[in-house]
Amino acid sequence: MSKFRLDTKSTFRVIYLCSKFIDIQQMKTLKLSFLAAFVALGAFMFSACTGGGDEPTTNPKLNFLAGTGYTSGDVSIAAGSAFKIGLVGSHDSKIETLKIRVSYNGGANVIPDNCTICDTTINATDFTIDYENMVESTPGTEKWSFTIADKDGNSTTETITFTRTAAPKPVRSVDVTVGNQNSSALGSSVTLEEYKAYLLKDAKPISASIDLCYVLDDLGGSIICAPSFQLAADKLVGVNGVSTWTTRNQTKFRKTSYTQNQFGAMTDSKELLAEAASTAATSDNIEVAVGDVIYCQPVSANAKICLIMVASIDTDNTMTVKVLAEE
């Protein structure tokens, strides 16, 4: 009868070697599983980045140019006035089209009359265009819309609303010659009700109607100023001097960008009304030179807003100005 004897030492060795083999195999399997998972994750992330053509889209950018002569936001403007809008567009792909529309007094959007660029093909990734036109000649509103789009229909629209003020009226231009403090023959005090210069003795009794004075400062500069400005009192002295007046009006001034030729071509008050609707006149004095055009905002009862163009400054201590105001 054969006998079977269990060698416990040998059996332990076999079990130990088997367990080590299983551990090694499990480690290999774990490493392979981790590597496969990492590769799969990388493939997923790559697929998510490429998106298979489902890339997020962006709209083109459209801005208005700011600066002298440009309108870049909602504004009040004299009816019948011209305007200029600078358009700046950009995109990461080509901008295909530009459309310009206008809504008058809250009505439907329409194509403006005589507009050659209101349905334009751009075909570029960026562009700059100046658009010029005129607002209607009656009071009201008009909202201008500017839309750019790419070939996929991604678009951007920006708008500017004009509030049209009173219609322009006929104007008249009056020449006024005025003297400074060194002139004994001509007065230094001007009323814009009568467009006339008065000597101090005649100006004092009507000080409530005097809108501006002409003086030289200590450096010889030609200064147009309000009677309330201290230099007027310092230079126009005496028993009837400005400091003795019952009323010293606080007229305000602002220098404009108009040239002599532009001033001479004005036939109605649209430029004057545009200045009135623009930046307020805030200065009570202004140094002038020949050719300057000044917007003047008087406070006396019967004077009107006006534009004043300096026609000449002469060596005999006189200055001639042209005053333009509504009739």
Q: Per the domain annotation, does 145 fall within a domain?
A: yes
Residue that terminates a domain, selected from 124, 139, 165 = 165
Judge whether 26 lies within some domain. Answer: no
Q: Is-above-0.85 flag for pTM?
A: no
Residue 202 domain boundaries: 171-326
Q: Is the CB of residue 85 less than 8 Å from the CB of residue 118?
A: no
**Domain match, 220 and 139 both:** no
- Whether 132 and 214 map to the same domain: the answer is no
Domain assignment of residue 84, yes or no: yes
Please give the Cα distance from 286 to 21 (Å, whole number): 101
Same domain, 143 and 105: yes
**1 band by pLDDT with thresholds 50, 70 and 90:** very low
Read off the CATH number of the domain in which 103 is found.
2.60.40.3550
Same domain, 239 and 126: no
One domain for residues 98 and 187: no
Residues 297, 175: one domain?
yes
Q: Which residue has the higher pLDDT, 278 or 98?
A: 98
Confidence (pLDDT) at 10: 40
Number of structural domains in the chain: 2
Q: Sign (positive/negative) of CA torsion 314, 318, 320, 325?
A: positive
Distance CA(48)–CA(7), nearest Å, equals 61
**190 and 126 assigned to the same domain:** no
300 and 181 fall within a common domain:
yes
What's the rounded mean pLDDT across residues 103-126?
A: 94
Q: Are residues 197 and 178 in the same domain?
A: yes
In a domain, 264, yes or no: yes
Give the alpha-carbon dihedral of 183, 185, 186, 187, to 10 degrees: 80
Identify whether residues 236 and 302 lie together within a single domain.
yes
Give me the sign of the Cα torsion angle 273, 301, 184, 238: negative
Q: DSSP 3-state assignment of 142?
A: strand
Statement to judge: residues 158 and 180 lie in one domain: no
**What is the mean pLDDT of the segment spanning 232-258?**
98
Give residue-wise pLDDT tens across range 128-151. Answer: 999 999 999 888 999 999 999 999
Residue 48 maps to a domain? no
Mark whether 179 and 285 lie in a shared domain.
yes
Q: Is residue 11 one of the residues assigned to a domain?
A: no
Structural domain ending residue among the three candidates 107, 141, 165: 165
Q: What is the pLDDT of residues 48-104, one digit of tens each?
A: 444 444 454 699 999 999 999 999 999 988 888 899 999 999 999 999 999 999 999
Name the nearest CA neighbour of 271 among 72, 139, 80: 80
Choosing from 116, 146, 165, the residue where a domain stops is 165
Does a structural domain hold residue 28? Answer: no
Residue 318 pLDDT class (50, 70, 90 cuts): very high
- 217: exposed, middle or buried (Cβ count in 10 Å: 0-12, 13-18, 19+): middle
- Decide if 262 is inside a domain: yes
Average pLDDT, the chain: 86
